[in-house]
Amino acid sequence: MNIITRRFKLTLICILIFNTISSYADVIKTQDGSHLNVKIKSFGKGKFVVESQFAGVLNIQHADVKDFITDEDMYVALDDGTTFLGKLDISGKIKKIRTKGGILEVSGNNIVAIWEKGAENPLTPKPDKPAEKPTWGYKANIHISGKTGNSEKFNSGGGLKATRTGLDNKLIIYLKGERSRENSSTTVKEIVAGIDYESSQKSSKHSKYARLELETDDIELVDLRSTAAVGYGYFFKKEDNQVLRGRTGLQVRNEEFKSGDTNSSLGIDLGLYHMKLLSDWGKLTSDLTYTPSFEDIGDYRIYHESSLSIPLARLDFWKLKIGISNEYNSLIAKGRKRLDTTYFTHLVLSWE
């Protein structure tokens, strides 16, 4: 005898002890001969739901029930699709439903559902769980630094980021800018805006993505640089505390320079992203993209950023973000450097 059977029989014994004082008039006779005075709430999908004065609401398997009688009218659904309202006497050789129109003889095996008046058919399919509503999250950051003395330096920048997370997709919209001056000369002056959309089922490692980025850079003498890409992504690791995702696709880059020159190229879009939660005190992220041109293998851009975000309060509202970014452009204006490296410390405000 397994533990479930022992518990079921113990429950029946307790119900029998209190049967003499029960106010319930429905009767269930079990296969072992016990008579239970209960209130039958419903029957369907192989089980009775009953209410007893002693044990409250219980589930009794159909296989454990031999006969049953109801004292009040209940809805009864048969296996041929018909439904009746009446009192049931499913005992003895003649099993019947007492309806207002007369007595209907039935077989206990062709009853598929029973339920109280005003209740729902237990066989009615439950509505699907409402789809999770997309959520929006927002971040804003700002940083200012300066130096005075033998040389005068001033650096400022900031950014905004909005993330819409759905059940099977994510949309990121961002805007960031940077400006630096040294001894009255501007050394950095750029603005970047972009959209990144990714579609992936929660349980799938595969994804599709599309992204668009616009950039203007006075130091590189770029009036407008636009990069549009679409492609396929694969999650090597996809967990709440760690994500490792690769991307590969096609990208189109158009550049307009202040000199009036233009450059357009079709190329490959390669990317690698990693995120790791460090217990409850920080988040480490790294992002790397490589976009070479099909026409000229020597025409490419590489962007890398690694950062560590540390919450400054328990509510995770303020964060300190420190990191490094590298941007390498193979084709640049004469007299400019191909590699820009930035060390940064940002104060980040996050909210939903």
pLDDT beyond 90 at 36 = no
Instruction: Copy the structure tokens of residue 344.
Output: 């940064």
Same domain? For 95 and 156 the reply is: no
Same domain? For 272 and 170 the reply is: yes
| Closest C-alpha among 92, 88, 35, 41 to residue 65 | 35
The answer to the question of residue 230 being in a domain is: yes
Please count the structural domains in the chain. 2
Same domain? For 102 and 167 the reply is: no
pLDDT beyond 50 at 291 = yes
The answer to the question of residue 144 being in a domain is: yes
Same domain? For 104 and 167 the reply is: no
Phi, psi of 322 (to 5 degrees): -125, 145
| Model pLDDT, residue 191 | 93
Q: Classify residue 335 as left (phi > 0), alpha (psi -120 to 50) or beta.
A: left
- pLDDT-derived band at 101 (thresholds 50, 70, 90) equals confident
Exposed e or buried b for every residue in 143-162, given b needs 16+ CB within 10 A?
Answer: beeeeeeeeeeebebbbebe
| Closest C-alpha among 311, 228, 312 to residue 277 | 311
pLDDT beyond 80 at 79 = yes
Instruction: Copy the structure tokens of residue 156.
Output: 């400022």
pLDDT beyond 90 at 306 = yes
Exposed e or buried b for every residue in 273-311, given b needs 16+ CB within 10 A?
Answer: bbbbeeeeeebebebbbbbbbeeeeebbbbbbbebebeb
Instruction: Please state whether the predicted TM-score (pTM) of the whole model is above 0.75.
Output: no
Contact 195, 160 (CB under 8 A): no
| Model pLDDT, residue 270 | 94
> Last residue of some domain: 85, 115, 145?
115
The answer to the question of residue 209 being in a domain is: yes
Name the β-bridge partners of 113. Answer: 44, 77
Same domain? For 101 and 167 the reply is: no
Same domain? For 105 and 252 the reply is: no
Same domain? For 175 and 313 the reply is: yes
Local structure of residue 293 (DSSP, 8 states): B
Q: Could you identify the residue written with the tokens 């020597």? A: 298
The number of C-alpha atoms within 13 Å of 104 and in the hemisphere containing its C-beta is 19
The domain containing residue 338 runs over which residues? 135-351
> Last residue of some domain: 83, 115, 147?
115
pLDDT beyond 80 at 107 = no
Q: How far is the C-alpha of 23 from the C-alpha of 42, rounded, in Å?
A: 18
Same domain? For 35 and 150 the reply is: no
CA dist 59 to 18, 67, 120, 179, Å? 18, 16, 17, 70
DSSP run (H or E) holding 248: strand 242-257
pLDDT beyond 60 at 57 = yes
The answer to the question of residue 289 being in a domain is: yes
Same domain? For 98 and 226 the reply is: no
